[in-house]
Structure formats: structure tokens, C-alpha cells
Structure 1
Amino acid sequence: MNQPPATTPRRAWLVWGVALAIYVLAVFHRTSLAVAGLAATDRFGLSASQLASFTMLQLMVYAGMQIPVGLLVDRFGPRTVLTAGVTLVSLAQTGFALAGSYPEALLARTLVGMGDAMTFICVLRLVSSWFSARRIPLVVQLTGSTGQIGAIAAAVPMTWALRELGWSGAYLTAAAVGPALLVLLLLVVDDSPSRRHERGHPMSRRALLGSLRDSWAQPGTRLGFWVHFSTPFSAHLLALLWGFPFLVVSEGVSETTAGALLTLIVVATVASGPALGWLVGRHPYRRSTAALVTVAATAGTWTAVLAWPGQAPLWLLAALMVVCGCAGPVSMIGFDVARTSNPPHRLASASGIINQGGFVAALLAVFGVGAVLDLLTPGASTDYSAEAFTAAMSVQYLLWGLGAAQIWRHRVRIRRLIPRETVERGSTMVT
């Protein structure tokens, strides 16, 4: 891969801007069911487990495709894979808008997950190709946090669209944005400053498996995986599916207030990302510490909400949304660890491994909440009690405990193997 220039030209920001817009759209499609959960229950006649299956299957596909997508990006370049991604997610959302049955809708959400899976790793690879090393941590944080604007559009505006345009009208309007961005992609985005298409060398199945083994063998890749596993899943749980029912049914807020609270997650993500990127760039040796503090803060705030007698006050719910939102940028630390732990030709595949972490955790959390709700409210679709939601949301503690233990384990190993000075120089660390 060609080295990016020492200074950042306007062209790099333009390429990044178009790729970022596609990522924003993918996030919107990913989270567009968050405020439509109750509407989907009525439209398709779903139980809690069936409603959760939309998000579960989408997350399973997303997580399962991360390694194949990483290998595809290493082989064919981000421009080609990003083109396939925006095309697929737009067609899939069109199918979701027109679906008339549960199986049809389930298939459409599966394809949404496939298209979504092809976006973020491509943007990360473009950032590595177009920006200088000192700017990469900041731009990666800007990508992760600004991309969550898509979730803002999937909250209050999507609530309005569903009410005013109906199910099909709202989702068809959203799907129509994809073709416009596809045109911009084809006109503007190149894989690197010197080449429109960066192609890797063809690899045999044995070579591909060897590349994945080498990526996973890096302690930094494993640490990055568990950082991404532990920090963002609570925000995903709220934003993708269960936040809206939890706030409306269990905490007794209005639908409008629930949408505003979910939007606050994204506002916190966008606001905290640049500051965290700056801190990580200046203090890379403290990356795992930031992740552990974030896990503790998230678990502690959830404890305050769930243990509150009766319905939690609005200020505490707002604090929960802010804390969960700030955890999203912390998950980006995992990709920075991958960048400083792997050679350039393995960067996309290592990023794919790490990106699996957060979505595997989100999948387990979404499934666990749905299963507990069904167990405690048999025969009901949306008539959940506050006690049922308290038990269901407590599933998260198992994931926080596992993730924090693994972060600590791999951070100790890395600090034994790699001198602090090497980490703070930000050089590639192949151990």
C-alpha cells in the first residue's frame, strides 16, 4: 500500500467525506428499526423473540462478514467493496419497505446486514491510505463518531416519517438516498492518492487462512477485539432495538421523549469522539485503561438506573444515554491498536477481526434481553413489566465481566512484550 502524504490535501478530505456519507447511510439503515419496533410488531404480528430476530440476524450477518470483507478489501481495494456495499444495502432496504410477511422482512434485514458490513472497514482503509500517520487516530475517531449521525436520522426523523408516510413510504424514501451516494462514490473515491484501484495479490485458501492466523496471533489484535467487544454493545442494544420499548414501557416516558433520549446517545458519541482521538494520539499507552474505565462507568450507570425505586428520573436516563454514547468512540481504540500491531497488508483483515467483537457482544445482548422478556412475560408481545426489563437488561453484566477480564489479560501480556516507548512512538509492532 502506498504511503499517505505527510500533509493532508483537500482531495483526501473529499474522498473521506463521500465515504463517510455512505457510512452514515449504512448506520441509518442499521438502526432504522430502533423506533419502528412496536410498528413492526403490529405490522407482522411478532413476539419479542421474533422482533429481536430482526436485529439478531442482521448482527450475525454483519459480524460473520467482517473477516471475509476484510480479506476482500485487502484483495480488491475499498472502492470496489464499498460500491457493492451501498448497492446491496439500498436494494435490501427497498425490499424491507415492501415486505408483507415476517419471512420476507427477515430476509431483507439479513441483506441490510450484508451491505452494512461492507462499509466501515472500507472507510478505515481509505483513511490509512489518504492521511498521514499522525492524523489517522483523529480521523478514525471522527469517522466512528460522525457516522452516528445516521442513528440520529433513525430516531426522531424516522419516528416522524413512519407516522406521516407510513411504513413503506418511510423506508422507500430512505432507500432512495443510496443511488445518489453511489454516483458520488464512483466519481470521487480512489483507493489511494496514486491509484484508483489498489489490488492485492491473489492468495490461495491456505495463504488466506495463514494471514488470518498471523493477524489473530498479534496480541494487539486480540486486545483490540476485546476492547471492541466490551465497550459499544450497550449503546447498540439501546439504539438498535430495545432502547425505545425500554424507555416507553418500563420507564414510562413518551415516544417523543424516548426518541430524544436515544438521539442523545449519538450526540454524546459525536461530541466525545474527537477529544478521545486527540487523547489516544498523545497517550497511546493508556488506551486499554480508557477502555476499562469506560466499562466500569457504563456498568455503574446502568446499575443506578435498574436499582432506582420505581421509574428512574429523566436526568438519570439522560446520563445513561450520555455514558453509553461516549463508550462508542472508546471502541474505536481497538482499531488503533490494530493499526499499531499489524503490517499494512493485513490491516483490513485485522480490522475485520476486531469489528466482529462489538457486534458479537451486541448480538448476545439483544438475544439475551429478548429471551428473558419472553420468559418473564409468556404469551404477551409488548406487555412487559418493569421487573421483566430490569432482569432482561441485567444480561449485560455477563458481557462486561467477560470483556473486562480479557482486556486486562491481554494488556498485561502486551506490556510484557512491548516496551512503552515503542507504543508511544506509534510504530508498527509485529511481535
Structure 2
Amino acid sequence: MPWHGRHHSRCAVVPNTVAGTHSPRRHFYRHGLHEWAQHALRGSQPCGAWLSHEPSGQFRRCPDLSYSCGAGGHGQRHHFDHQQVLIHPNGPCAEFARGLFGNIDDKVSPIGRILQRGNTANWGKAKQEDRVETQSATSDAPSYRWVVWSLLVATYMVSFFHRMAISVVKEPLMEQFSLSLSDFGMLASMYFYAYCLAQIPCGIMVDSIGVRRTAAISVTLAGVATIAFGCTTSPTALYISRFAVGLGVASSFVCVMKAQSQWFREREFSTLAGVCLFVGNLGSICAQAPLGMFVAVCSMRTAFLAIGCGTLVLALLCLLFVRNKPEDIGLSTAVSSGTDTPSIPLRRSLISILKNRHLLAIDIFYFFVGSQLLGFAGAWSISFLRDSYGIHLAVASKLASVQLLAFMLGSLVLGYASDHYGKRKIFITAPFLVVCLVWFFLAFGGADASLAAGVTLLGVAGFFSGAFSVMMTLCKEVSPRELTGTSIAMLNTFGFLGIAISTPLYGKLVEIYSVETSNHHAALLLLAGMNLAGCVCSFFFRESGGENLQ
């Protein structure tokens, strides 16, 4: 099989076919090695392999440049795998590659051969050897990466805890600070305003100063603010400390996702994201019945002082043990097999996202439907159960946990079903239509049924709200790969803005339509209407089929 290329010092280029170029050989000779590589980077999708070699030397893997490699004659594309550039560190291509991608010397590949075009057997064998070598090189990393991941997921649990804890201490807060229902709703929403405003800045912090320092600073702020929340005697300080708690925990999810991209292989990412959501919701469970019992035994102030001190200990652990990436502690960078993407200026990123109508539909959808679980469960579920069924706080806290447990289960079940059938849109629209029906039923008298029926309906709403996990996946799949993080940050911004607006509005409606006791019918109708608006938005989603479309 002849080679359409030539040896260039210690390097060889094998361009089989270059899209839009009728003579690959003339194209190569005319433009030269570096220009040919730049032509590939501009998206012309060349079929072939750009390899640098030395008969007795090892190869180096360039982490960013990968493209479909094909076999056959001109005009044919047989995409059998995604091949990466292999560069020898002393070859004439190395300096050019370093200029494009930075340090390439730590990307070791043991493949000691040149892959001829169309030789899929050799490529598969070489890739298998590369995988074995990678696993050997990273044998010291698996145990430590779980330390990093566990600490960061613990911070994510803290964020869920604070999101839900406010509903347990509603009565003590309203009594001690003379708050009305609308005042309490505004207090609860301060967390969501802060979380919403901090999303994009947190993403910038993680990318600029790293996960370790971002997590340590943020969690320290959350701990100090929690202690202040427990000690304050002023309503103004109460609002400020609640806002500061939201700022402190806003980076937790971004830190977990960033660390997973650095410490884990790409094929592990989706599974870990689901586990992260499941474990994070354990913080919500702890903020219900366990916190209710703690407050009943001790007091609200003692509870938040203890929580704040524990949060500061977690911040110290993050500073001591979390590392941004494996090479920070001398481990191989091959732990992460994901490819780095070129950075894009923030302004261009935001403009690109706002112009993507498929992403915008998901953002608006989250604005409407986020309040029905995170806002209601976080601030009003316990009040709803107490006011509607006349039960004690501790009992209401336990029963409110049913909705959160159902949500955790629904996240796993609906996420798995969506992956199994390769569909996204139907597994978002259909579940939230069910949730919409639940809120309408509760609003039009369903709340007056038995306690068992009310708790069951909340459980149904929680289970089908697990479609949030599918929504996050669809957001990733319709956004450009290099803008995934910013896209999710923008999605969270819309979602938490909706929660921040609807939470005090819910309290205002309960207050307005109350006579002798709190009446939640009008407020539940608000949730039903917002859910219906979200379902309308979901009809404009683009089906991804389980694949990245950008």
C-alpha cells in the first residue's frame, strides 16, 4: 500500500484525502506540514493520520487534535475510529504542537509504529495497548481521586441542605423575627438570588484559580454565613446571612463537574454525574426529618451554629486534600481521557449561547418548572402539610422527605430509561405533564383529601420531577462541546431566577387568600400554571437522540 506523503526529517504525514482538495499530494507539498495541520484544525476533516515517529523512540500524544480517520479512495469516508495526533518531542512538529496546545510531553503513548491507512486491525491493536499502558500509568490515582470527589460532593450536599433547611425552621423564624408569610418567602428566596447571580462568576473562578481554592473559599464563606444566620438578632442581618450562604454554596456543582473532567475518564463522567445528583439530594433528606428532630431537641440557633462549624471543617479538608488535577501530586495526567477544548472569551460564549434557540428553550423551561420542586420542597412543603392536615412539625418534616426520596429515585429511573431508548424530549415532556396534573389536582381540592393521598401525590410529583436529570443531559447535547460548562451555568441562572421569583410570590398568595388558617390553593395553582408554561416550552426542544449535536 503506497504512502501519499513523505518523510519530513523524523516526521511523516499521511493525508489520504483532504475534503475539498482533489490532489492531496499537491496540497501537502504546496502548503507544507504546519499549514496542512492548520488546515485540519479549521474543520476540513482530513482523512488520514498525522504521525511523528522515530524507529526506536516513544510517541507523544497531543491531547486536543482528533478527527475521523478513514480508508479508501478519494471521496470515500470509512469512519472506523477517532484517531489522535502522535508527536515525537524532538521532531520538527513538536514546537508547532506546543504552540497550539501547550505542554505535550506528559501525554505518553507507548505506540511504537506508524499506522498505515485503512489498517483498522493495527489501529485497534495499538489503541488496546495504549489503554493498557494508560491504566498502568495511572494505577496510583484511583484511590486519591475518590478522596477529591467525595469531599467536593460533600460540599454539594451542603448546598442541598441549605436549600431545604429553611422550611424546617419556618415557625421559629417567623416567631422570633415577626416575619409575615411573604417576608419568609423573600428570606427563602435570598438563597436562590445569590445562587443565580454567582453561577457564571463561579465558573470563571474554577477555570482561573482551580477547584481547590474555589471550593475552600466558597465553603468557608458558607460556614461563616451559617454561623451568622444562627447568631443574628436582626431581620436585616438574617437576610444578608441567607444571601451569603447562597453565594458560598453556589460553586459546589461547578467544582464537582470540573474535578470529574480532570480526575476521571470520559466514559465515567455521565455515571458519576448521576451519582453526584443522587448523593447531593441526601443533603435535602438531612435537612428535613433529621434537622427537624435536632431543632426540637435543641434549638434553631444551636442547630445552625453546629452546621456552620461543620461546614468550616469541610472547607479546611478541601484546602488540605483537594487538588485541581492529578499532576499536582505527581500522578499521570492520563487519568483524564477527555480532550481539552480551546478557551473562548466570555462575551462570545454568552452571545453564542443566547443565539442558540434550542438552548434558550431549555433555559426558559427550567425558569418555569424549577420552582415546583426546588422552591416548593425547599420552603413550603412542610408548611403545606402542617396547614392542610394539622400535623406536628416533626411529622411534617418526615413526610416531606417522601417527595425528595421520590425525586432521587426518579432521577435514576428516568435517566436510565432515557439512555436505554436513546430519547430525551419525550422523557422530559411526558413526566412534567404528569407533574402539572398533580398540581392542578391539589389546587382544585385535592389538598383537602386524606393525608395519605396528599403525601402520595407529592411523591408522584417528586418522582416525575426526576426528569431534571434528562433536561441537564439534553442541555449538554445541544450545546457546543467547548461551551458545555457555560451552557449549564446559564441554565442554572434561568432556573434559580425562576425559583427566586416564585418562592416569595407563593408566600404572598398564601397570605392573601388565608382567612383563619393558611390556604395553599391559589399558590398551588401558581405552580400548576408555571408547570404548564414549561411544558409548552418543551415542545420546542430538539431531540438529540442521545448524541452531541454540536
State the TM bucket, normalised to the shorter chain.
Answer: 0.7 to 0.9
Partner in structure 2 of residue 169 of structure 1 = 302
TM-score (norm 1): 0.85
Alpha-carbon distance in 1 for matches of 2:421, 2:521: 38
Q: Is the 8 A contact 1:223 1:334 kept in 2?
A: no
Which residue of 316, 324, 333 maps to 2:470? 333
Output one character per residue of 1:341-376: Cα deviation in whole Å (capped at 9) or x when no partner. 344543322111111233223223212211212322
Instruction: Give the Cα separation in 1 of the matches to 2:446 and 2:418.
Output: 39
Report sequence identity in percent: 21
Partner of 1:126: 259
Conserved 8 A contact 1:30-1:112 = no
Partner Cα distance (2:442, 2:375) in 1: 15
- Where does 1:404-415 land on structure 2 (aligned, <5 Å)? 404-409=535-540, 411=541, 414-415=542-543
Q: Quick one: which amino acid aligns to residue 278 of structure 1?
A: Y
Change in Cα spacing, 1:73 to 1:93, as seen in structure 2 (3 Å) is: same
1:227–1:291 Cα contact (<8 Å) kept: no
* Amino acid in structure 1 at the alignment position of 2:468: S
Q: Work out whether residues 224 and 333 of structure 1, in 8 Å CA contact, stay in contact via their aligned partners in 2.
A: no
2:521 corresponds in structure 1 to 390
Match of 1:69 among 181, 184, 202: 202
How far residue 2 of structure 1 moved from its aligned partner, in angstroms, is 6.8
State the AA in 1 paired with 2:375. L
Are the aligned partners of 1:87 and 1:178 in contact in 2 as well (CA < 8 Å)? yes
Q: 1:231 to 1:10 in 2, by over 3 A?
A: farther
Q: 1:19-418 alignment to 2 at 5 Å?
A: 19-195=152-328, 207-284=345-422, 286-308=423-445, 311-377=448-514, 383-385=516-518, 388-409=519-540, 411=541, 414-415=542-543
Return the letter of the residue paired with 1:73.
V
In 1, Cα distance between the equivalents of 2:348 and 2:180? 43
Task: Write the distance in 1 (CA, Å) between the matches of 2:327 and 2:477.
Answer: 24
TM-score normalized with structure 2 length: 0.68
Contact persistence 2:343–2:482 (CA under 8 A): no
What whole-Å deviation, never above 9, does each CA across 1:153-174 have from its counterpart, x for those lacking one?
A: 1111211222222122111011
- Equivalent pairs counted in the alignment come to 409
Q: Give the letter for the 1:394 counterpart.
A: L
In structure 2, the gaps of 5 or more residues are 1-61, 65-106, 108-130, 136-140, 334-339
- Decide which moves more: 154-163 or 34-43: 154-163
Structure 1 position 106, deviation (Å): 0.7
Greater relative CO (CA pairs within 8 A, separation 6+): 1
Question: Where has structure 1 moved over 6 Å in runs of 4 or more?
Answer: 1-8, 196-203
From the two aligned structures, give the one with the greater helix fraction: 1
| Structural RMSD (CA) | 3.0
Q: Which amino acid aligns with 1:243?
A: S
Mapped partners of 2:144, 2:365: distance in 1: 32
Consecutive unaligned residues of structure 1, counting only runs of 5 or more, are none
Structure number having the greater strand percentage: 2
1:134 Cα deviation after fit:
3.3
CA contact (8 A) 1:54 1:109 kept: yes
How many angstroms apart in 2 are the aligned matches of 1:103 and 1:368?
20
User: Equivalents in 1 of 2:458, 2:324: separation in Å?
Assistant: 36
CA shift for structure 1 position 230: 4.6
Q: Which amino acid aligns with 1:155?
A: Q
Q: CA deviation at 1:332?
A: 2.5
